Amino acid sequence: MSHDLYREQLLDHFHNPANFGVLEPADVDIEMDNPTCGDMIHLTARLGRDGRIASVMFEGQGCVVSMAAASMLTEAVVGKTPAEIDEMDLGQIEEMMGGVKLSMGRVKCALLSLNAMKQGLRDAGRLA
Protein backbone atom coordinates (compact mmCIF):
# COMPACT_ATOMS: atom_id res chain seq x y z
CA MET A 1 0.00 0.00 0.00
CA SER A 2 1.42 3.38 -0.95
CA HIS A 3 -0.95 5.20 1.43
CA ASP A 4 -0.07 8.82 0.92
CA LEU A 5 -3.06 9.57 3.13
CA TYR A 6 -2.01 7.00 5.70
CA ARG A 7 1.51 8.27 6.30
CA GLU A 8 3.01 7.89 9.74
CA GLN A 9 2.30 11.49 10.80
CA LEU A 10 -1.45 11.16 10.28
CA LEU A 11 -1.59 7.70 11.78
CA ASP A 12 0.19 9.00 14.88
CA HIS A 13 -2.46 11.66 15.33
CA PHE A 14 -5.16 9.05 14.76
CA HIS A 15 -3.77 6.58 17.26
CA ASN A 16 -2.58 9.15 19.80
CA PRO A 17 -4.70 12.24 19.28
CA ALA A 18 -3.56 15.52 20.78
CA ASN A 19 -5.90 17.32 23.18
CA PHE A 20 -8.40 14.47 23.30
CA GLY A 21 -11.11 15.22 25.83
CA VAL A 22 -13.45 17.97 26.98
CA LEU A 23 -12.64 21.42 28.40
CA GLU A 24 -14.85 22.43 31.29
CA PRO A 25 -15.86 25.20 31.43
CA ALA A 26 -15.49 26.26 27.81
CA ASP A 27 -16.37 29.31 25.74
CA VAL A 28 -17.02 27.17 22.68
CA ASP A 29 -18.84 23.86 23.01
CA ILE A 30 -20.22 22.20 19.92
CA GLU A 31 -21.07 18.79 18.54
CA MET A 32 -21.12 18.25 14.80
CA ASP A 33 -21.50 15.18 12.65
CA ASN A 34 -21.21 14.04 9.07
CA PRO A 35 -24.36 11.94 8.85
CA THR A 36 -23.36 10.51 5.49
CA CYS A 37 -20.24 8.86 6.88
CA GLY A 38 -20.97 8.70 10.58
CA ASP A 39 -18.11 10.93 11.72
CA MET A 40 -18.87 12.80 14.95
CA ILE A 41 -16.88 15.45 16.78
CA HIS A 42 -17.37 17.22 20.10
CA LEU A 43 -15.19 20.31 20.23
CA THR A 44 -14.58 22.60 23.21
CA ALA A 45 -12.39 25.71 23.29
CA ARG A 46 -11.41 28.56 25.57
CA LEU A 47 -10.50 32.06 24.47
CA GLY A 48 -7.97 34.27 26.22
CA ARG A 49 -8.44 37.87 27.37
CA ASP A 50 -6.96 38.97 24.06
CA GLY A 51 -9.79 37.18 22.25
CA ARG A 52 -7.45 34.58 20.76
CA ILE A 53 -7.89 30.84 21.09
CA ALA A 54 -6.16 29.71 24.25
CA SER A 55 -6.87 25.99 24.23
CA VAL A 56 -8.95 23.42 22.34
CA MET A 57 -9.94 19.85 23.05
CA PHE A 58 -11.94 17.37 21.01
CA GLU A 59 -13.48 13.97 21.30
CA GLY A 60 -15.32 11.95 18.72
CA GLN A 61 -15.21 9.09 16.34
CA GLY A 62 -14.50 8.83 12.66
CA CYS A 63 -12.04 7.91 9.97
CA VAL A 64 -8.31 8.57 10.05
CA VAL A 65 -8.72 11.77 8.04
CA SER A 66 -11.38 13.34 10.26
CA MET A 67 -9.74 12.36 13.54
CA ALA A 68 -6.18 13.25 12.50
CA ALA A 69 -7.40 16.59 11.13
CA ALA A 70 -9.22 17.33 14.38
CA SER A 71 -6.17 16.43 16.43
CA MET A 72 -3.91 18.65 14.32
CA LEU A 73 -6.44 21.49 14.34
CA THR A 74 -6.49 21.63 18.14
CA GLU A 75 -2.80 22.54 17.93
CA ALA A 76 -2.92 24.71 14.83
CA VAL A 77 -5.58 27.17 15.97
CA VAL A 78 -4.10 28.09 19.34
CA GLY A 79 -3.18 31.79 19.27
CA LYS A 80 -5.43 32.59 16.33
CA THR A 81 -8.28 35.08 16.43
CA PRO A 82 -11.79 33.89 15.50
CA ALA A 83 -11.54 35.98 12.32
CA GLU A 84 -8.31 34.23 11.36
CA ILE A 85 -9.95 30.86 11.93
CA ASP A 86 -12.92 31.93 9.82
CA GLU A 87 -10.54 32.56 6.94
CA MET A 88 -9.02 29.07 7.09
CA ASP A 89 -9.93 26.90 4.13
CA LEU A 90 -9.28 23.48 2.63
CA GLY A 91 -5.84 24.51 1.32
CA GLN A 92 -4.64 25.36 4.82
CA ILE A 93 -6.06 22.13 6.23
CA GLU A 94 -4.24 20.13 3.55
CA GLU A 95 -1.05 22.02 4.37
CA MET A 96 -1.59 21.43 8.08
CA MET A 97 -1.92 17.71 7.33
CA GLY A 98 1.53 17.61 5.78
CA GLY A 99 0.64 18.65 2.25
CA VAL A 100 -1.78 15.84 1.43
CA LYS A 101 -4.07 16.29 -1.56
CA LEU A 102 -7.50 15.17 -0.44
CA SER A 103 -9.82 13.45 -2.87
CA MET A 104 -13.33 14.80 -3.30
CA GLY A 105 -14.81 12.13 -1.06
CA ARG A 106 -12.50 12.93 1.88
CA VAL A 107 -12.80 16.73 1.91
CA LYS A 108 -15.78 16.76 4.24
CA CYS A 109 -13.99 14.41 6.64
CA ALA A 110 -11.00 16.76 6.82
CA LEU A 111 -13.15 19.87 7.21
CA LEU A 112 -15.46 18.52 9.93
CA SER A 113 -13.38 19.88 12.82
CA LEU A 114 -12.75 23.25 11.15
CA ASN A 115 -16.43 23.66 10.35
CA ALA A 116 -17.28 22.73 13.93
CA MET A 117 -14.77 25.30 15.20
CA LYS A 118 -16.24 28.05 13.03
CA GLN A 119 -19.84 27.18 13.89
CA GLY A 120 -18.96 26.91 17.58
CA LEU A 121 -17.41 30.40 17.53
CA ARG A 122 -20.56 31.73 15.82
CA ASP A 123 -22.86 30.02 18.31
CA ALA A 124 -20.79 31.54 21.13
CA GLY A 125 -21.15 35.02 19.64
CA ARG A 126 -17.42 35.29 18.95
CA LEU A 127 -17.83 35.44 15.20
CA ALA A 128 -20.40 37.28 13.09
Partner 1 sequence: MPLDVPAIRSEFPIFRRTINGKRLVYLDSAASSQKPQAVIDAMVHVWSHSYANVHRGLYTLAEEATMAYEDARAKVARFVNASDVAEVINVRNATEGINLVAYSWGEQHVHAGDRIVITELEHHANLVPWQQLAKRKGAKLAYIPVTDDGLLDITVLPGLLDDGRTKVVACSVMSNVLGTLPPVVEIAAMAHAAGALVVMDGAQAAPHMPIDVQSIGADFLAFSGHKLCGPGVGVLWGRRELLEAMPPFLFGGDMILTVKREDSKWNALPYKFEAGTPAIAEVVGLGAAIDYLTGIGMPAIQEHERRLLPYAIARLSEIPELRVLGPGPAERGAVVSFTLEGVHPHDIGALLDEEGICVRAGHHCAQPIHDRFCIPASARASFYIYNDENDVDDLVAALRKTVSLLARR
Site residues for partner 1 per CB under 8 A: 1-3, 5-6, 11, 14-15, 35-40, 61-66, 103, 105-106, 109
Q: Find out whether 32 and 39 touch, Cβ atoms under 8 Å.
A: no
* 16 versus 49: smaller Cβ distance to partner 1: 16
* 53 versus 69: smaller Cβ distance to partner 1: 69
* 63 versus 77: smaller Cβ distance to partner 1: 63
The CA distances from residue 36 to 40, 75, 105, 106, in Å, are: 11, 27, 11, 12
| Least separation in angstroms between CB 119 and partner 1 | 20
Q: How far apart are CA 67 and CA 16, in angstroms?
A: 10
| Least separation in angstroms between CB 102 and partner 1 | 10
Amino acid in position 100: V
| Least separation in angstroms between CB 38 and partner 1 | 2
| Least separation in angstroms between CB 54 and partner 1 | 30
* 10 versus 30: smaller Cβ distance to partner 1: 10
